[in-house]
A and B are shown apart, each in its own frame.
Chain A
Amino acid sequence: MADLQTSYLGMTLRNPLVPSASPLAEHIDTIKQMEDAGAGAVVLHSLFEEQLTLEALELDHHMTFGTDSFAEALSYFPEPDTFRLGPDAYLDHIRKAKEAVDIPIIASLNGSSTGGWTNFAWLMEQAGADALELNLYAIPTDADLTGAEVEERYLQVVRNVKAKVSIPVAVKVGPYFSNMANMAKRFSEAGADGLVLFNRFYQPDIDLDELRVVPNILLSTSYDLRLPLRWIAILYGRTSLSLAATSGIHELQDVIKVLMVGANVTMMAAALFHHGVDYLRTMESGLQEWLETNEYVSVKQMQGSMSQIHVDNPSAFERAQYMRALATYQLPKDRISGFFDNE
């Protein structure tokens, strides 16, 4: 049997199949099912900085709104002794998850400011998280804010968090940096232990009936894999960071491809939504079978084998490849008339 073990953030996992941060991990039962189905580790759903702030402000607003105004109704709600606000429920969840399963539990923290919320990282460690995934997610709209400032803010968050915890920290980012390789290097210098590539920014849509901007969550497809695939291939061997591939891992082939370009682990959510948690079992046995069929002895043997530094044509991952792709691209015949007839 081929050895499926991999290492990620300094931890040894039984295989590189890791459910990524999603609402699936909100239920302890599901986390147990994930372990039973063969997950190498589990990334918990994210604790959102804005959510905590908003919840506290909302609660305060609604508990006080309309109070002390009218003699007969000086308040409208009973006031419990305590509220489980802030990260309490999430921390409890970490504890329960740790009690329920043996595989590593990776807590996920989502935010972008350098404020006090980074304290939550420490609390997560205290609650028992084996590692932390720091999800840096911001859409800057201020035209006076430079890219360099945004990058520095991200790095500062990483430094802040690393200063507070001793568990490994992976940074999950989007691809929109001028130079991803440089950012990877700087994240590493800031103390990050791994990179999770890439975050998917949910893009808003327009509802034409209601004339409203609406959030629109589109689950990933295998196509979305291409971007992380390229960057993992480029980064592999050039950084000491662990690399996790996320976005677009749906099929066994997807898993194999990103492992080959150098991913330590492969993360999936959409596929589990679609097929159910048991799909992990299918993936694990499929991976085992593929390795054996193709005479690999281990995942480690395969990891990075098709990274940029190990392939025969490294430029395939670079801009030159783009030129080649265009030059060889042919429109499907049935579309040609449409392009030229202004139909």
Chain B
Amino acid sequence: MPRPVATLDGNEAVAQVAYRLNEVIAIYPITPSSAMGEWADAWSASGIPNIWGTVPSVVEMQSEGGAAGAVHGALQAGSLTTTFTASQGLLLMLPNMYKIAGELTPAVFHIAARSVAAQALSIFGDHSDVMSARMTGYAFLASASVQEAQDFALIAQAATMRSRIPFVHFFDGFRTSHEVAKIELLDDDDLRAMIDDELMMAHRQHGLSPEHPVIRGTAQNPDVFFQARETVNHFYAQCPDIVQTAMNQFAELTGRQYHLYEYHGAPDAERVIVLMGSGCEAAHETVDALLAQGEKVGVVKVRLYRPFDVSRFVEVLPTTTQAIAVLDRTKEPGSSGEPLYLDCVAALHESGLATLPVVVGGRYGLSSKEFTPAMIKGVFDHLKLEQPKNHFTVGINDDVTHTSIDYDPNFSIESPLVTRALFYGLGADGTVGANKNSIKIIGENTDNYAQGYFVYDSKKSGAVTISHLRFGPKPIRASYLLSRANFVACHQPIFLTRFEMLDELEDGGTFLLNTAYGPDEVWDTLPQNVQEQIINKHLKFYVIDAYQVANEAKMGKRINTIMQTCFFAISGVLPQDQAIEAIKDSIRYTYGKKGEVVVEMNLAAVDQTLAHLYEVTVPQRVTSNVQLGAVVSATAPEFVQDVIGAMIARKGDMLPVSAMPIDGTYPSGTTQYEKRNLALEIPVWDPEVCIQCGKCAMVCPHAVIRIKAYEPSLLESAPPTFLATPVRDKDWEGLQYTIQVAPEDCTGCGICVDVCPAKNKSAVGRKALNMEAQPPLLEQERENWDFFLGLPEMDRRHIKVSSIRQQQVQQPLFEFSGACEGCGETPYVKLMTQLFGDRAIVANATGCSSIYGGNLPTTPWTHNAHGRGPAWANSLFEDNAEFGLGMRVALDKQLEFAGELLRQQSDSVGSGLVDALLTAPQTNEAEIYEQRERVAILKQRLADVRTAQAQLLLNLADNFVKRSLWIIGGDGWAYDIGFGGLDHVLASGRNVNILVLDTEVYSNTGGQASKATPRAAVAKFASGGKRASKKDLGMVAMNYGNVYVASVAMGAKDEHTLRAFLEAEAYEGPSLIIAYSHCIAHGIDMRTAMQNQKAAVDAGRWLLYRYHPDRVEEGQNPLILDSRAPRIPVQQYMYMENRFKMLTKSDPEAARTLLGDAQHDVSVRWGLYDYLASRSYRKSNGNSEE
């Protein structure tokens, strides 16, 4: 009987096998492997058994280090155990991997291989992580496609149990882990056939048991360690045979025969490429194409990388081979070659061949850089040279050290038998989901093979998605993006002026456009190059007003079903009637569990679509002179125009090595040049209604609402529509006041309008800010914004920072980030930069804040007109507190040294200045201003002093201005992976400010539970609702007594937030601010999210408090409880949020129980804090008493 086929991605394919073959699974989220853990957790929660009939235990750990420890423990206790990880996660597992291998313990780690952060982090795929683990003693098995990833998951498990050598099974992150493909599934019988119960029991028997106690993990000495290390040799020697045997057995079962080293190509090949991973697939089909052209080429696919079987590797090479290129998807700087290259060279050297072929090594595909047939052909062509370049690179232009080889980018082997479709969509419109669905429909309703790969945006808001779909009668090996399409769909008309999307469309292809214009009027709305290409390429051109159809079907902005229906209606991949019925079936299946109304809505959309889909009669005349817009303004700095501009224009692949900063250092303040124009509506200020409270600017997540107060005379040159009104604050009497919106940077989240407390007295539905359509306002507001930027910033010495209405005129030095629309974290970050940014250094943990804060092309941390602003760096996820502490220690040391030098220079700079510099209090902006003046004088006086000491001092002079050190990260860092370090830093007593942006889940990786997740919330890894209560991080910190701690929620009490920031920074010791940050992962309306913050506080679910150690000295209780006793039941707050509410739909009984527990948590915690805050610290007889 044929096995079932399914269309799924690599992660799911692997997880399905790994889950069924293990008893314990220890997980921790990291891109791109997170989904494997999520699947395992979901299946476990649903009670799905493994092949032995028991449901695997899935445990989420606090880090990958923790996961590896748990895996090691579970293995030692005799359970079959697995884990999933990538990149830094794998690096955190290394110590345990040595142990697990050293103890000859069978296990498979499934790795979605990803770049390891170097000059920058990258979430994308290459082999730098697995190569960093190659010396651990694990066996390494590389799969190259979704089908192989599934198959090798089983082969690896069979081989580890037979060989006792633990395996890393790896496949390329994103390219394989996220590619959706049609594969043949393995059923339980296949798994049982490959896995011997005897070996499972042997593993169990080998586990620790008091019935037969042993000691494992001894400490050995110089006398025996070495010999003991050599005991394992024959296990490694046998391992390749064991793997090949398992592959042979697998072939008998399934018909799919794999080999450790698999040659494909001409039997008499002269030129051969050797590589691992998904690149093998592209090489395979390129070789086929070149063979057809008579070339003598071939490819060796390395499956088993460790133990490296020299003889088998050499055996598969045709004896005719004259030149070999070994391609590594990693870089080992300073080495004599990359790892696979060195292994191959050594193997050939040891082979005893009479004549060795020429062997060169090359690097390709780092961080999912495209690896195309054109590049592969380039490598083969390169091998024709008499002296091919060694240690070359392919796919980039290295114009510095000239490592790169040339290739013809126009070479393509796309098959005419394959339907190739490109879809340009927005994340919010559901394009990707619809395409995944289409692949399923085609894959599962026809004999066609199907493949989908999706390219996402670097920004979280207004994210553009590009879907690459292939369908064809033969297996699809194209492990690269479409370069030639026969169908292109543009789901957002604005993209036409941003991307040259028809470049990839072939002659006679089909172009589908979602537009508000009908078939008779659309032509004149198209840009010139689009018109030209439609005519010149003889394209078939269709239009649909998908938003109108969606609107009528009450689907809002979700045009997924509509555009999917259009695709099927005109692409011809399926007969139209059959396709429509399949879409409808799929809708019933997909949405059925979400209620009849949702199903009906989508079905209605399908029916309506065909009536609104029109073919356009293409005029044979270009009528447009609209050109693609410039990506950055002509006034931007050169680097921004040339380098960052290219990245924005999606032409970053074309940038040569020479364009790139050598050490990962980038200028700050570049988001201002990327005008994304995301908002359909923007807030418009009504000065008549405004009470000038400043709240709108404070909550704006994107720093697009700015306030300035300035001299009236400056208005003389104002644009005609520029709005101004007299300042209401008495301190600034006589000045004019403006709230201005950056129209092209606003995301239209509307949170400012929601918090605006000023209502129009004649129509209370309107406020001092009202959302209005952006396009008609764009020109005038762009002019107003430019004028506004030109107005002077207010002298910081004249701003009362404790008052929000004044404080909010401070310039934000964090602006226009790519965070989600309405983000709950960024207002806190921005506030910090307004208050302290011009003297701040930031250590930022990996997570949302490092992504919206540091993901190229443009970054939001910026500087003021004096060039001062936050200096920002990201180290890792797990070490951010330590990273920040290191900075603090360095700054303190520098200041200390500067002080020593300054005293030595007293004669040359003057003792008065020395004393003033060393004793300046610097507690407010005026004092800091004065200190800056002193530093300027010091520099002047030192300039002419030519001694070495003086120059050293000059080098450190800026350090006399107080530095504000901020350690910023999310709850995943602070509560889980970085908690040990955080705890240590809190205990250090150093003057650091720690800001925890507490979204109560791992937001950046898609909402996995952390120890900050509240009880009863549903999150990934807590799909049945979190059973344990939220960890009280503030209480932990308060235990030390000398840590300033504040728990804040801007939406509940913004003055309290401001006060906490000021106090924390002023406190001369460690400070911890735990900031409630609403999040898209809460399942809330982001526009009104500040109301959720308020409700959380009103319910007592989130407490507002400050713990100020200095108060003890004054005989006061250090803990000040700033929120009132709970005023609403916790249920009222919780069921405003899907994370809590969905449990009432998925498991009502559990929801009821957990709701009761959650209410109990609140009551108990409130009682405790109330008690602690009410204790007396009044001093008597020199002792404090309670």
Q: Are A85 and B1145 in touch, CB under 8 angstroms?
A: yes
Q: Are A69 and B460 in touch, CB under 8 angstroms?
A: yes
Docked CA distance A62–B1083 (Å): 5
Q: Are A70 and B433 in touch, CB under 8 angstroms?
A: no
Chain A residues contacting B820 (CB-CB under 8 Å) are 66
Interface size class of B (residues with CB under 8 A): 35 or more
Interface residues of B in 404-445 (CB under 8 A from A): 426-428, 430-433, 436
Q: Are A78 and B595 in touch, CB under 8 angstroms?
A: no
Q: Are B465 and A73 in touch, CB under 8 angstroms?
A: no
Chain B residues contacting A67 (CB-CB under 8 Å) are 427, 433
CB 8 Å contact bits of B437-461 with A (1 = contact, 0 = none): 0000000000000000010110010
Q: A63 at interface (Cβ–Cβ under 8 A)?
A: yes
Q: Are A52 and B595 in touch, CB under 8 angstroms?
A: yes
Chain B residues contacting A75 (CB-CB under 8 Å) are 1006-1007
Docked CA distance A72–B852 (Å): 12
Chain A residues contacting B1083 (CB-CB under 8 Å) are 62-63, 65, 76-77
Q: Is the interface of A mostly helix, strand, loop or mixed?
A: loop
Choice from B38, B123, B433, B457 contacting A78 with Cβ under 8 Å: B38
CB 8 Å contact bits of A110-143 with B (1 = contact, 0 = none): 0000001000000000000000000000000000
Which of A53-61, A150-158, A196-204, A334-342 touches B? Answer: A53-61
Cβ of B695 to closest chain A Cβ, rounded Å: 15
Docked CA distance A59–B1084 (Å): 10
Cβ of A60 to closest chain B Cβ, rounded Å: 5
CB 8 Å contact bits of B541-564 with A (1 = contact, 0 = none): 000000000000000101000000
Q: B1077 at interface (Cβ–Cβ under 8 A)?
A: no
Chain B residues contacting A56 (CB-CB under 8 Å) are 594-598
Q: Are A76 and B1006 in touch, CB under 8 angstroms?
A: yes
Chain A residues contacting B426 (CB-CB under 8 Å) are 69
Q: A76-B1007, A78-B1019, A84-B1148 are in contact. Are A70 and B456 (CB under 8 A)?
A: yes
Q: Are A60 and B31 in touch, CB under 8 angstroms?
A: no
Q: Are A63 and B1138 in touch, CB under 8 angstroms?
A: yes
CB 8 Å contact bits of B838-875 with A (1 = contact, 0 = none): 00000000000001000000000000000000000000
Q: Are B428 and A69 in touch, CB under 8 angstroms?
A: yes
Chain B residues contacting A52 (CB-CB under 8 Å) are 595, 597
Choice from A69, A78, A84, A212 contacting B1018 with Cβ under 8 Å: A78
Cβ of B1095 to closest chain A Cβ, rounded Å: 15
Docked CA distance A319–B734 (Å): 69
Chain B residues contacting A73 (CB-CB under 8 Å) are 460, 1003-1007, 1081
Chain A residues contacting B1145 (CB-CB under 8 Å) are 55, 59, 83-85
Query: Taking each of A52, A58, A65, A74, which has the highest tally of chain B beta carbons within 10 Å of its own beta carbon?
Result: A74
Docked CA distance A222–B594 (Å): 43
Q: Are B1080 and A65 in touch, CB under 8 angstroms?
A: yes
User: Which residue of chain B is the closest to A84 with respect to CB atoms?
Assistant: B1145
Interface residues of B in 508-546 (CB under 8 A from A): none
Q: B1023 at interface (Cβ–Cβ under 8 A)?
A: yes
Q: Are A72 and B1023 in touch, CB under 8 angstroms?
A: no
Choice from B430, B596, B1139 contacting A68 with Cβ under 8 Å: B430
Q: B1178 at interface (Cβ–Cβ under 8 A)?
A: no
Q: B574 at interface (Cβ–Cβ under 8 A)?
A: no
CB 8 Å contact bits of A154-174 with B (1 = contact, 0 = none): 000000000000000000000
Chain B residues contacting A53 (CB-CB under 8 Å) are 595, 597
Docked CA distance A63–B558 (Å): 13
Q: Are A77 and B1018 in touch, CB under 8 angstroms?
A: yes
Q: B593 at interface (Cβ–Cβ under 8 A)?
A: yes
Q: A64-B430, A66-B427, A71-B123 are in contact. Are A58 and B457 (CB under 8 A)?
A: no
Choice from A55, A72, A82, A86 contacting B1146 with Cβ under 8 Å: A82
Interface residues of A in 165-189 (CB under 8 A from B): none
Interface residues of B in 161-176 (CB under 8 A from A): 174
Q: B498 at interface (Cβ–Cβ under 8 A)?
A: no
Docked CA distance A73–B1020 (Å): 11
Q: A78-B1019, A80-B1146 are in contact. Are A71 and B595 (CB under 8 A)?
A: no
Q: A56-B594, A64-B433, A76-B1007 are in contact. Are A70 and B463 (CB under 8 A)?
A: yes
User: Which residue of chain A is the closest to B598 with respect to CB atoms?
Assistant: A60
Cβ of A89 to closest chain B Cβ, rounded Å: 6
Docked CA distance A67–B460 (Å): 10
Chain A residues contacting B764 (CB-CB under 8 Å) are 211-212
CB 8 Å contact bits of B976-1015 with A (1 = contact, 0 = none): 0000000000000000000000000001111100000000
User: Which residue of chain B is the closest to A93 with respect to CB atoms?
Assistant: B1148
Q: B1030 at interface (Cβ–Cβ under 8 A)?
A: no
Choice from B41, B594, B759, B1139 contacting A60 with Cβ under 8 Å: B594
Q: Are A62 and B1020 in touch, CB under 8 angstroms?
A: no
Docked CA distance A80–B1018 (Å): 10
Query: Taking each of A67, A71, A78, which has the highest tally of chain B beta carbons within 10 Å of its own beta carbon?
Result: A78
Q: Are B1006 and A74 in touch, CB under 8 angstroms?
A: yes
Q: A81 at interface (Cβ–Cβ under 8 A)?
A: yes
Q: B1120 at interface (Cβ–Cβ under 8 A)?
A: no
Chain B residues contacting A84 (CB-CB under 8 Å) are 1145-1146, 1148
CB 8 Å contact bits of A198-224 with B (1 = contact, 0 = none): 000000000000011000000000000
CB 8 Å contact bits of A81-99 with B (1 = contact, 0 = none): 1111110010000000000
Q: B1132 at interface (Cβ–Cβ under 8 A)?
A: no
Docked CA distance A72–B1023 (Å): 19
CB 8 Å contact bits of B916-927 with A (1 = contact, 0 = none): 000000000000
Q: Are B427 and A69 in touch, CB under 8 angstroms?
A: yes
Q: B91 at interface (Cβ–Cβ under 8 A)?
A: no
Q: Are A66 and B1080 in touch, CB under 8 angstroms?
A: yes
Cβ of A65 to closest chain B Cβ, rounded Å: 7
Q: A79 at interface (Cβ–Cβ under 8 A)?
A: yes
Chain A residues contacting B591 (CB-CB under 8 Å) are 60
Q: B1142 at interface (Cβ–Cβ under 8 A)?
A: yes
Q: B913 at interface (Cβ–Cβ under 8 A)?
A: no
Chain B residues contacting A55 (CB-CB under 8 Å) are 595, 1145
Q: Are A82 and B593 in touch, CB under 8 angstroms?
A: yes
Cβ of B530 to closest chain A Cβ, rounded Å: 25
Q: Are B1005 and A59 in touch, CB under 8 angstroms?
A: no
Chain A residues contacting B1147 (CB-CB under 8 Å) are 80
Q: B628 at interface (Cβ–Cβ under 8 A)?
A: no
Docked CA distance A78–B41 (Å): 9
Chain A residues contacting B1019 (CB-CB under 8 Å) are 77-78
User: Which residue of chain B is the closest to A85 with respect to CB atoms?
Assistant: B595
Chain A residues contacting B1005 (CB-CB under 8 Å) are 72-73
Docked CA distance A50–B2 (Å): 47
Q: B42 at interface (Cβ–Cβ under 8 A)?
A: yes
Q: B911 at interface (Cβ–Cβ under 8 A)?
A: no
Q: B320 at interface (Cβ–Cβ under 8 A)?
A: no
10 residue pairs from A and B, CB less than 8 Å apart: A59-B594, A59-B595, A65-B1080, A68-B465, A69-B432, A70-B457, A74-B432, A76-B1080, A77-B1081, A80-B46
Known contacts A69-B427, A78-B1018; can you find 11 more A-B pairs with CB under 8 A? A57-B601, A59-B594, A61-B556, A62-B1138, A63-B594, A79-B42, A80-B1023, A80-B1147, A83-B1146, A211-B764, A212-B764
Query: Residues on A close to B: CB < 8 A?
Result: 52-53, 55-86, 89, 116, 211-212
Query: Residues on B close to A: CB < 8 A?
Result: 31-32, 34-35, 38, 41-42, 45-46, 123, 174, 178, 426-428, 430-433, 436, 454, 456-457, 460, 463, 465, 556, 558, 591, 593-598, 600-601, 759, 764, 820, 851, 1003-1007, 1018-1020, 1023, 1080-1081, 1083-1084, 1138-1139, 1142, 1145-1148
8 closest A-B pairs by beta carbon, nearest first, are: A69-B427, A56-B595, A73-B1006, A68-B432, A62-B1138, A78-B1023, A62-B1083, A71-B456
